[in-house]
Amino acid sequence: MSPKRSLVMVAAWFGAAMIFAAGMFHFKGPTIGMEFLTCYLIEWSLSIDNLFVFIMIFQAFGIEPKSQKRALQWGIIGAIVSRLVFIVIGLGIVSLFEPVMYLFGAILIYSAYKMIFVVEEEIDIMDNKIIKFVRRFIPITKELDGHKFFVRKSDGIMATPLFLTLVVIEIFDLMFAIDSIPAAFAISRHALVILSANIFAILGLRSLYFLLAHANNIFVYLRYGIGFVLAFVGVKMLINHYYKIDIFVSLSIVIGTLAISIALSWLKSRQIKS
């Protein structure tokens, strides 16, 4: 996907989310509408940081851009299903045991600390235990075969490296959900708000991925902004029983933080080019 088409598609998906938000404001009221917007922006910003890992995964497996689209498409389908499961289970746990929100808040604050202060080491994809497990029980070819996940050989059906790449993407997406789902619970308890915000953020991932692949320097400071947002949401969870932060304040902080971090990243990229 070319940079121009990627940008158009990202704008189209963002526009669709804003139209849905307008519908939420109109039919469900301003509070639910702002909850959706806040959840969507948090999930969208988290997905940007996650996509940098996906870029690294494709590079590790040597997947060509033309084959990446199919892996991303099926990865998005898997992400929607896993998010649905996580959200349903999460809402059930929260309704049965409210104090679990303190655990969610602590997880988000720890994630924020790692994102802001801990220098990430390069992940050795091939050393992943799940990959070793899959390789042990599923025969995998050494070379790609176009867009195919499985091929028929003389000794039976074998998986291709593209299938193994999809497995790794789904594994990392499950890890990312540990941050994203609790963050949504801090903003809203409405299943429609949380699920729709996650789906709209996920649906635009494929075009957003190719945009980042062409211009990853644009978001150099975004991880710090995301870290601050996670810390804020985590604190909001911990103090919610004693002091409730208005949803308008939450939305303003999320928008302001992301806007500042993206603006600083853009200025930094201009300096690098000059």
Contact 217, 95 (CB under 8 A): no
Indicate the domain borders of the chain.
3-273
Tens-digit pLDDT profile for residues 216-255 = 566 678 788 888 988 988 898 888 878 888 888 888 998 9
Q: Please state, for a pLDDT cut of 90, what percent of the chain lies above it.
A: 12
Read off the pTM: 0.81
Q: Which residue has the higher pLDDT, 175 or 40?
A: 40
Tens-digit pLDDT profile for residues 240-250 = 878 888 888 88
Taking CA atoms, 94 is separated from 60, 86, 89, 122, 222, in Å, by 38, 12, 9, 35, 30
Tens-digit pLDDT profile for residues 162-187 = 888 888 888 878 877 777 788 888 88
pLDDT tops 80 at residue 2: no
Spatial separation of the C-alpha atoms in residues 111 and 119, rounded to whole Å: 13
